[in-house]
Amino acid sequence: MGGNTTRFDPLPGSLARSVGRGAAVTGVAQAVKLACQIASVIVLSRLLLPHDFGIVAMAAPVLAFVALFQDLGLTQATIQKKGITHEEVNCLFWVNIGVSALLAGLLVLVAPAVAGFYAEPQAGVLVAAMGLQILVYGAGAQHYALLSRRMEFGKVAILESFAACAGLAVSIVWALADRTYWALYAGGLATALCTCIGLWAGSRWRPGLPRWVEGGGSLLNFGAGITGFNFANFFARNLDNVLIGRYWGNQELGLYDRAYKLLLFPLQQITNPLSKVMVPALSRLTDEPERYRHAYLRVAPILLLVALPGVAFAIATADLLIPFALGEQWRASAGIFQALGFAGLMQPLNNPSGWLFISQGRSGEFMRWGIFSALTSVAAFAVGLPYGAFGMAAAYAVSEYLRTPLLWLYLGRSGPVRAADMVRVAFPFVVGAHLAVGLLWLARPYLPDSPLVALLACGVLAYASVSAFALLFAPGRAVILDGAQMVRSRIPAFS
């Protein structure tokens, strides 16, 4: 469909309805994707060896690093900008395509260096093959941005759910036929292809010929701030894998990777997709600070209520949960899992801060915070490296606690949401989750011998104890009541 007939903004007066439905369908889609991720971890961990996951973990930081420059923050620029035109979107589409092609070629060029760095030829071959995924994702970037800008979250949810299921099915079938790391690659490529095809079909937008447009520079400048944050954040997310793989080998890296994937990755799978709803919605509310503040402070603590009891449960039961879910061969990763879990108690509070930076157009500040976060994470990894994967995980958790108050003081200097607002609404859930960890540890000797029954009992106790503590405080009561009403009546999340 041509640019003159494609709608780029949500229908007038549809914000509340779109966000309410968007939160619901995104939640359902994320449940599907999370189930696929957990199934992938469990099933593929039984079909493949730690060595295979170690090979993929060696290649993953290289792909993640190159992918930082693929989007250039241009999808967020399309979502955030007021009054964007077909010509501007077309310009950004071709920028995405050109950059993706260059990065795919770069992966082929650096593959021999990766193989030499790890002394593992298979890692180099995998890096070169990952260039195809870069091309596929680049082709759908602006189509995804338009669907998100128009708040057509139902379409996005359906296609992402289907793509996740398709990727899981391809990985499992491949692993049954060929028990190598290529099963993991094939699943990722299948997910990328299904997503791209669905985005083109659902967006109703088609690009024209490549052409630069006036105003493209300001869009690139906005995207540069987001890219700068992503570049810095890359080190916080991936340098640990590089260091463990280089100095401790793929066996230790495989244990660390499984612990990370089973805990922190699912947390990201909750907060990151929710940003697909929140960033477009908050971007439309920047001229109404009270509504903006109310919207964020209504959603963020519900996220804490959902995520933090689960993290507390995982920390306290790691020695049961890891062997039960992954098999006895992964028991050695339980300690790593627990250390990462304490970082997980902070991340549902801190990760949504990006919604505020981006929707308020503060991409430069977002980048500066990312640089600070990366530097402090590097320092933590340096401290923990001599103690192996567990030491790295523990040091990272400590750094997450130290950064949290600084983040909210920095972010709350301007904008509708202040640091005091976050302290008020987050305190009942963050403190309650820490108390729940202690309570579960004390209860462990009295639990049934059956691992399944013990895990179910601990899960119930974790959510009950956090909710009980939150009910002692007015903000906690308001959040629990609000969440219960939203579930019962399925009303929109914003008024």
* 97 lies in the same domain as 164: yes
* 368 lies in the same domain as 416: yes
Tokens of 225: 């701030």
- 36 within a domain of the structure (yes/no): yes
| Structural domain boundaries enclosing 342 | 251-495
* 204 lies in the same domain as 346: no
Confidence band (pLDDT; 50, 70, 90) for 22?
A: low
- pTM to 2 decimals? 0.74
- 27 within a domain of the structure (yes/no): yes
Q: Is-contact 135 192, C-beta < 8 A?
A: no
* 189 lies in the same domain as 331: no
Confidence band (pLDDT; 50, 70, 90) for 4?
A: very low
* 182 lies in the same domain as 260: no
What is the pLDDT of the chain when averaged over all its residues?
A: 84
The total number of structural domains that make up the chain: 2
pLDDT over 90, % of the chain: 26
Whether the per-residue pLDDT at 215 is higher than 90: the answer is no
Work out the average pLDDT over 121-143.
88
* 262 lies in the same domain as 126: no
Give the Cα separation of 157 and 179 in Å (integer).
31
The amino acid sitting at 17 is R
- 224 within a domain of the structure (yes/no): no
- 296 within a domain of the structure (yes/no): yes
Whether the per-residue pLDDT at 454 is higher than 50: the answer is yes
- Of 104-118, 200-214, 216-230, 464-478, give the range with the top mean pLDDT: 464-478
* 257 lies in the same domain as 153: no
The amino acid sitting at 361 is G
Cα 493–Cα 494–Cα 495 angle in degrees, nearest 5: 135
- 241 within a domain of the structure (yes/no): no
Buried b (16+ CB within 10 A) or exposed e, 81-95: beebebbbbbbbbbb
* 195 lies in the same domain as 259: no
For the stretch 269-280, pLDDT in tens is 677 767 778 888
- Residue-level pLDDT at 437: 95
Domain's final residue, options 192, 214, 236:
214
162 phi-psi bin (left φ>0, alpha ψ -120 to 50, beta other): alpha
* 188 lies in the same domain as 64: yes
* 280 lies in the same domain as 393: yes
For the stretch 282-335, pLDDT in tens is 887 888 899 889 889 988 898 899 899 999 999 999 989 888 887 788 888 888
* 274 lies in the same domain as 188: no
For the stretch 375-387, pLDDT in tens is 999 999 999 999 9
For the stretch 245-263, pLDDT in tens is 888 887 788 888 878 877 7
Give the Cα separation of 32 and 38 in Å (integer).
10
For the stretch 392-429, pLDDT in tens is 999 999 999 999 999 999 999 988 999 999 999 999 99
